[in-house]
Structure formats: C-alpha cells, structure tokens
Amino acid sequence: EVQLVESGGGLVQPGGSLRLSCAASGFTLSDYYMDWVRQAPGKGLEWVGRTRDKAKSYATEYAASVNGRFTISRDDSKNSLNLQLNSLKTEDTAVYYCARDEYGGFTYWGQGTLVTVSS
Amino acid sequence: QSALTQPASVSGSPGQSITISCTGTSSDVVNYNSVSWYQQHPGKAPKLMISEVSNRPSGVSNRFSGSKSGNTASLTISGLQAEDEADYYCSSYTTSSTRVFGGGTKLTVL
C-alpha cells in the first residue's frame, strides 16, 4: 500500500527556517516525480515545487513565490523527500502536502503538516 | 503564473448533474492535456478524481467525467449524491514546467 507521511511542521518566526520531510512506503521514491503542494488556512491549493525522478537526475522546479527560498531534496537511503524552507514569511503559513506526480496528476497525497510563520 | 479560473461555487440537487469549469490560457490548459481534477473534503487531503483531461483513476466513480475544449476544461458530476459535497480544484501543467491550480469551487448538494 502506498503511503506518504509528512512531518516537521511547527511554529517559526518570520525570517526563520524549517525542514519538512515526507516518508514514503509501498513504492520506491526514486522512481517517481514528487511534488510539494501547500494550502493556506481557508484558501485554495498552491503548487510549491517538484523533483523529477532518478532517470531525470532529480531535477527540480519551483513556483515563483518560493524560488530561491525553498529547496527540495531526497534521501534515497530513507526513501524520503525533504523540503527546506528558508527566509520564511507570514504568507508561507499553510498545510504542506507531498504528492506523487504521475499520469498528469497527483495520484497519492500525504495527510499534510502545518507550518505557522508568526512572531 | 496566474491561477486557473473556476467558479467560486456551484450547487445541485441529488440526482442532478453539474459541471465545473476551469479556464486557462495558451500557457497551460490550451497546450497541455495534463489537466487534472481533485476533490477535497474539509480537513482532508485532496483526492485525484480525473487526470489527463478525462482519465478516471481506479476506484473513482464513473459519475465523474472530464473534458476540455480550447482554454476551458470541465468536470461533470452526474447523479449528484450528498457525499459529493466538497471543494473541487483543477490543475494544469504549464509552459514554464510548473503546475498551476484553479482557485477552487465549493459544491453544495441541496
């Protein structure tokens, strides 16, 4: 059974940093494109970024709103995906989801982890 | 990249059919068939309902169907049921190799 479990969310001050993780089970993470999607409280979904699969050298793309501040990486030994969030702003407050990207859509989603940026 | 345009809300009675539109541009919907639809119930993670414009993943009811014409993709739900009440989002691949979501549509089953 495919499962994605995010962790690492919490309260952080503006300008601070946080590292989110997404533990995958039931499949080999390196074989798939993986994305991060966020949802601010009471708002819609916003695409954050993507890491392509091992065959595509794990190339990454990011939304303009986070480019240069957020970094996606993988840990193949742990079958996990990471999202490093730097220079955080209050508008980055959201639930962050990891999702498996295939067949033109996000087929599996984690339950999400809440990041709150506030002083 | 601007968000795709969806109606804020739609409603229908049980048994009826409704359609949710998703309007984009030549930078996304027009030139890609990577248009997908998601259902999200309150407090839950989104669920893929339609991928690649009209493909229904295993386990998704055949009451859900998708289509695209020009710059507008559509999700149709037939035989509306109370459990269909949720938020629905469309998404598309873009010419910038990114993805973009619509603003979301709240479906109310009367």
DSSP A44-104: -EEEEEEE--GGGTT-EEE-TTTBTTEEEEEEGGGTEEEEEE-S--GGG-EEEEEEEEETT
Q: Which residue of A has its CA nearest to B45?
A: A111
B81, two tokens = 């049921």
Please report the pLDDT score of residue A104 as a whole number.
85
> Residue B31 — left, alpha, or beta (φ > 0 → left; ψ -120 to 50 → alpha)?
alpha
Residues A109, B45: C-beta atoms closer than 8 Å: yes
Please report the pLDDT score of residue A103 as a whole number.
84
Render each residue's pLDDT in chain B as its tens digit; 110 residues: 678 999 999 999 999 999 999 999 988 999 999 999 999 999 999 999 999 999 999 999 999 999 999 999 999 999 999 999 999 999 999 988 899 999 999 999 99
**With contact defined as beta carbons under 8 Å apart, do B29 and B68 qualify?**
yes
Cα–Cα distance between B34 and A103 in angstroms, integer? Answer: 8
Residue numbers of B between 8 and 67 with CB closer than 8 Å to A: 33-36, 38, 40, 45-48, 50-53, 55, 57
Q: What is the mean pLDDT of chain A?
A: 96
Query: How many C-beta atoms lie closer than 10 Å to residue B24's C-beta?
Result: 25
Average pLDDT on A57-85 reads 96
Residues B91, A64: C-beta atoms closer than 8 Å: no
Interface probe for A, chosen from B60, B98, B101, B106 (most Cβ of A below 10 Å), is B98
Average pLDDT on A54-62 reads 94
Residues B51, A103: C-beta atoms closer than 8 Å: yes
Average pLDDT on A78-97 reads 97
Please report the pLDDT score of residue B1 as a whole number.
67
Please report the pLDDT score of residue B46 as a whole number.
98
B62 Cα to chain A: minimum distance (Å): 17
Please report the pLDDT score of residue B26 as a whole number.
85
